[in-house]
Structure 1
Amino acid sequence: MGFSEVNTSFEQLLVEQSYVHKLHAMGIAEPTPIQEEAIPALLQGKDAIIQSQTGTGKTLAYLLPALQKIDLQQKQLQVLVLVPTRELGMQIMQQIELLTQGSALRAQSLIGGAAVARQVEKLKLHPHIAVGTPGRILELMKMRKLTLHHLKMTVVDEVDQVFELGSMNEVEAVLKGTLRSSQTVFVSATIPASIEQTALKWMKEPVILKINPSQRTAETLEHCYFVCDERDKIDTLRRLVRLINPASAIVFINATADIAEVVGKLQYVGLSVEALYGEAGKTERAKVMAHFRDRKFQLLLATDIAARGLDIEGVTHVFHLDPAINAEYYLHRVGRTGRMGRKGTAVSIVTPKELFILEKFEKQLGITIAPKAMYEGRIVDPDHNRSAAAMRSRRQGARPSGGVAPARGGPAASARDAAVPAAGTVRISAAAPGARGARSAAAAAKPAARINAAAGGKGASPAARKAERERDRKSKGAPRWLKAKQQGKEE
């Protein structure tokens, strides 16, 4: 075996044996590339900016070094992790509990929305590590119930989202409360240049760790889209879920105000779905997440903020009922599946007018979002050229020029087109004599009667002329385009 084939182990990264045993119990045997880079750097006490795709193990990349820095004999807070949402905070707390089960290490959640009095009471137990939202941490500092003077490490997870939610000033106020000797770490899948500049204000010669920055999404992810009218999006999602039957999937929408209406519509059409509301109470949100992890329902309907950073095992599909507002949001959405080398599928349900958004994502993220269609209970490729950009250009090229409809036929003509009779053709059914045969013959004769009547009535029966006058009377209020269409058919 060559040296290049030897895999790095957690022991080689100087992770303590007690944590290695816990990792093995969690089914984690080898470090991921970002863990190989980050763990040694953080153990050396370096400030760091950690950027890697979603689902590559960034949480453990900073948690393992952070936990090893804690001195259990001291009764002070030594590690602080700042997060944008309650769900991400609780997820990190679960990781900490799994890694420290049976030890004397104390951890506490300090999330906004929970009762302050209860958190203050629990702080009297002197936690070694806390996970919290910037607003609540700052509130406790102002109440003089929390001091950061003994912190050895401060981590800002999903740093771009924390700053985007308007918490930049709060984060900076928190960082001011730490000692200059404290280690600072910023973590996210997407770290814009502006955040790197901000980081430099609070860091001492930081190492910038980026794993495959050009590869923005996991290689195990498949991206595809289905086109429909806006009014058909719910039904398209219903049909896709019935067809694919994912074990567990997340459905994303953009507007929080619409979430109750959408979940009601999805439940009405028979889908097993619950919603993760941003404004819902702590208990309700925790209950929804617990039930989703336990597979008590199939689809979790969520907004981008609510599901940011969530790591839920077994999520095989992500559906975009609304397209993401930008490429970074798309990146974080699809990162909920295809994690840690597993396969995943991202499905966008878009209108023709929204296709340009997918084209933009393709260019910015260097991915192919393939057009798909549902046909006879299967998902099929509508065309060999699979990119959204190619589909859009073909659609534009197929638009009629100067009001002339594109000609049917040619090698691409479908069997359905071939089955449609040419204008002016009269089909006579070969049905057996009787009522059905008579109806078929009468229906076939109608176009001929109309043509005769329109030609001045030559050879037209009185009944046909009367029918023509009646049709003219009924179409008086019709729009011009409809009259022209009817006249064209008759001619």
Structure 2
Amino acid sequence: MRALHTVLSETASPGALNHKLVAHAVSAASSPQQALAKSKKGKKAKKQSAVAKKPASVSTSIDTDSQLGQSEASEPSTSNSDEFPTSTAASDDIITDISNQTSSETPPDTPSSSTPHEPSALARLCGRSVPDWLIRRAEDLGYGTPTGAQTEALPLALQGRDCVIHAQTGSGKTLTYLLPVLSGIDPKRSSVQAIVVVPTRELGIQVARVARQLAGKGKDQVADEEAANTKKLKSGKIQVMALLDGAGGNRQKIWLKADPPHLVVGTPDRIHKMIEYRNLRTNGLKFIVVDEFDAYPAATRTTGSLNKLLTVDSEAGARQTIFASATVPQHNRAVTELVKNKWARNDLVHVHVDPIQHVPKFLDHRYLVCEGDDKIKSLQKLVERDQPSAAIIFAHDLTERNKRTGETPSVEAVAEALSEGQPEALQPLLLQENARVQKRASIVQEFREGNRRLLVATDLAARGLDLPEVSHVYNFDLPLDATSYVHRAGRTARKPIAGTKGTVTCLVSSKEVFALKRLLNAIRVEGEEIDDT
């Protein structure tokens, strides 16, 4: 369905909403001249006899560039000693550099090709607004076919418009805002030019990974996310740094002052502290992206660190601001407030992709009615019957009732029950807020790599995490509202181009059936009742 664009002001030029697709022109290198070939033919024959008489001298050239996998085939790999330098400047930041290339140049780590090829749909959509090397990198990562959200929002973002990207989970919003940001950064300027704000450390690590991949760092080059977060990775000029909870603040300060990154990904409080202590300067800021912008508490949005970043530390008129989320409650009012609070310019555009369909159409919604102690047993039977390739089981964390009675939180009880009698490889991972941040990061990475196929988690895992192999989501505890349901359900069915199905199952008591149906009605889907036999 065509996106609904809500323009809050008509101050933009008439051509500002032009959605034309611009074709990508690729030229082929000409072949050698035939006359030159003929002139060399005689010389080659004369040399053959002389070469035969001389002792054979063999010069062997060894190609040390190895493939990084299908998505990173064009980039040479480096040894650990090169990628993680042990010089005086070890850092806790994810920092990545890419080559300074214009749209007509070829980056040094990408072999030039003399064979003409048909431009991808993404290349035609972006036209000359995105450099060729960045288009090729996106294509190598499998993003050659744009999603509906990208088709609608990219032309606007590439024109420099402030916009709200309001699209379903798994629709490619991260790529939609990273392409304009990476295209607009000037690597020759040693200053922070873009900030991406995220609500959680887990989402921040993921966004930094995608930026690193687009910048030329493949996922296979950095096996351990925490290791990547403690080193400075250099291969060119554009630097990406993650300012996340749990990283070494002192070393972050040193790097921010000595060699400012061009792109910073971080949580609001961490970014604000670095600005407050004058370690991070915003005078060269060109972009601010607020990902999952409806997830921030009201206090943070109005008087907290996020509000200060958007209104005090920088001005809306001097930058491009992009907001992204799958859910924007009371979106007309929310968009109006963004302008009113001076978070964005007056010509802010609301790109609402498929406003009728709140969740991906490839999702199946089910529910199972079970009571009390039977709930755990029913969950075990469902998991055994469904045989998910990977699954996330959502449950509540410590509640006030748990605190009063001393009961084990639901999320821990579920993880413990599913672990009983299972070998270590089949035991679920547990992700919750009170775990150490380094432990949380290693859990997500282990689940992402497929070492375990079950993850028991709180709503900490509900927003933004891109885990394409997740086939099933189980709500052991009912989500608090429709927004939570949408984000939990959005951890599966994350391959919109392939149309891979996902399944969401809620385990509810007979008293909760009405509340569940109200949630489903709010997002305009129907749930099928099943049993565990």
Per the shorter chain, which TM-score range?
Answer: 0.7 to 0.9
The equivalent of 2:185 in structure 1 is 70
The equivalent of 1:260 in structure 2 is 412
2: CA distance, partners of 1:279 / 1:131: 23
The equivalent of 2:9 in structure 1 is none
The equivalent of 1:275 in structure 2 is 430
1: CA distance, partners of 2:454 / 2:432: 14
2: CA distance, partners of 1:9 / 1:136: 34
1:232 aligns with 2:367: no
1:183 aligns with 2:320: yes
Amino acid of the residue matched to residue 191 of structure 1?
V
The 8 Å contact of residues 195 and 265 in structure 2, kept in 1 or not, is answered as yes
Radius of gyration: which is bigger? 1
**2:296 partner SS:** helix
The equivalent of 1:420 in structure 2 is none
Amino acid of the residue matched to residue 305 of structure 2?
E
- Cα displacement string for residues 251-272 of structure 1 (whole angstroms, at most 9, x for unaligned residues): 1012246133332222125352
2: CA distance, partners of 1:246 / 1:318: 9
- Cα displacement string for residues 104-159 of structure 1 (whole angstroms, at most 9, x for unaligned residues): 21000011232211221222321000000001111111111111121111010000
The alignment's TM-score, normalised by the length of structure 2, stands at 0.67
> Shift of the alpha carbon at 1:11?
3.3
Picking from 173, 178, 202, the partner of 2:308 is: 173
1:362 aligns with 2:520: yes
The equivalent of 1:49 in structure 2 is 164
**1:214 partner SS:** coil
> Shift of the alpha carbon at 1:8?
4.1
Amino acid of the residue matched to residue 248 of structure 2?
A
**1:81 partner SS:** strand
**1:177 partner SS:** coil
The equivalent of 1:482 in structure 2 is none
The equivalent of 1:128 in structure 2 is 262
2: CA distance, partners of 1:197 / 1:231: 47
Q: Percent of pairs identical after alignment?
A: 34
The equivalent of 2:274 in structure 1 is 140
Picking from 481, 490, 494, the partner of 1:335 is: 490
Alignment map for 1:445-456 (pairs within 5 Å): none
Amino acid of the residue matched to residue 117 of structure 1?
N
- Cα displacement string for residues 294-322 of structure 1 (whole angstroms, at most 9, x for unaligned residues): 11112111111343110012000000000
The equivalent of 1:119 in structure 2 is 252
The equivalent of 1:96 in structure 2 is 211
1:196 aligns with 2:335: yes
The equivalent of 1:303 in structure 2 is 458
> Shift of the alpha carbon at 1:207?
0.8
**1:80 partner SS:** strand
The alignment's TM-score, normalised by the length of structure 1, stands at 0.73
The equivalent of 1:9 in structure 2 is 122
Amino acid of the residue matched to residue 313 of structure 2?
G
Q: Which moved more, 1:93-102 or 1:59-68?
A: 93-102
Consecutive unaligned residues in structure 2, runs of 5 or more: 1-19, 24-119, 217-234, 400-408
The 8 Å contact of residues 11 and 20 in structure 1, kept in 2 or not, is answered as no
- Cα displacement string for residues 30-68 of structure 1 (whole angstroms, at most 9, x for unaligned residues): 111111122221121111111000000000010001110
1: CA distance, partners of 2:375 / 2:190: 55
> Shift of the alpha carbon at 1:363?
1.4
1: CA distance, partners of 2:506 / 2:267: 31
2: CA distance, partners of 1:299 / 1:92: 23
The 8 Å contact of residues 468 and 493 in structure 2, kept in 1 or not, is answered as no
- Cα displacement string for residues 403-423 of structure 1 (whole angstroms, at most 9, x for unaligned residues): xxxxxxxxxxxxxxxxxxxxx
**2:122 partner SS:** coil
Consecutive unaligned residues in structure 1, runs of 5 or more: 376-491
2: CA distance, partners of 1:189 / 1:309: 9
The 8 Å contact of residues 57 and 340 in structure 1, kept in 2 or not, is answered as no
> Shift of the alpha carbon at 1:162?
2.1
Amino acid of the residue matched to residue 147 of structure 2?
T
Picking from 245, 265, 268, the partner of 2:387 is: 245
Q: Which moved more, 1:83-92 or 1:115-124?
A: 115-124
> Shift of the alpha carbon at 1:374?
2.8
The 8 Å contact of residues 256 and 277 in structure 1, kept in 2 or not, is answered as no
2: CA distance, partners of 1:86 / 1:182: 25
Number of residue equivalences = 372
Taking only aligned residues, the RMSD between alpha carbons, in angstroms, comes to 2.0
2: CA distance, partners of 1:211 / 1:343: 20
**2:242 partner SS:** strand
1: CA distance, partners of 2:202 / 2:323: 19
2: CA distance, partners of 1:164 / 1:97: 31
The 8 Å contact of residues 11 and 17 in structure 1, kept in 2 or not, is answered as no
Q: Which moved more, 1:101-110 or 1:189-198?
A: 189-198
The equivalent of 1:207 in structure 2 is 349
Alignment map for 1:332-481 (pairs within 5 Å): 332-341=487-496, 342-375=500-533
1: CA distance, partners of 2:264 / 2:494: 26
> Shift of the alpha carbon at 1:197?
3.2
The 8 Å contact of residues 198 and 265 in structure 2, kept in 1 or not, is answered as yes
> Shift of the alpha carbon at 1:164?
5.3
The equivalent of 1:156 in structure 2 is 290
Picking from 429, 447, 463, the partner of 1:292 is: 447
The 8 Å contact of residues 125 and 151 in structure 2, kept in 1 or not, is answered as no
- Cα displacement string for residues 73-118 of structure 1 (whole angstroms, at most 9, x for unaligned residues): 0000001000000000000000001000254210000112322112
The 8 Å contact of residues 431 and 457 in structure 2, kept in 1 or not, is answered as yes
2: CA distance, partners of 1:94 / 1:66: 15
2: CA distance, partners of 1:272 / 1:181: 51
The 8 Å contact of residues 238 and 269 in structure 1, kept in 2 or not, is answered as no
The equivalent of 1:315 in structure 2 is 470
1: CA distance, partners of 2:243 / 2:148: 31
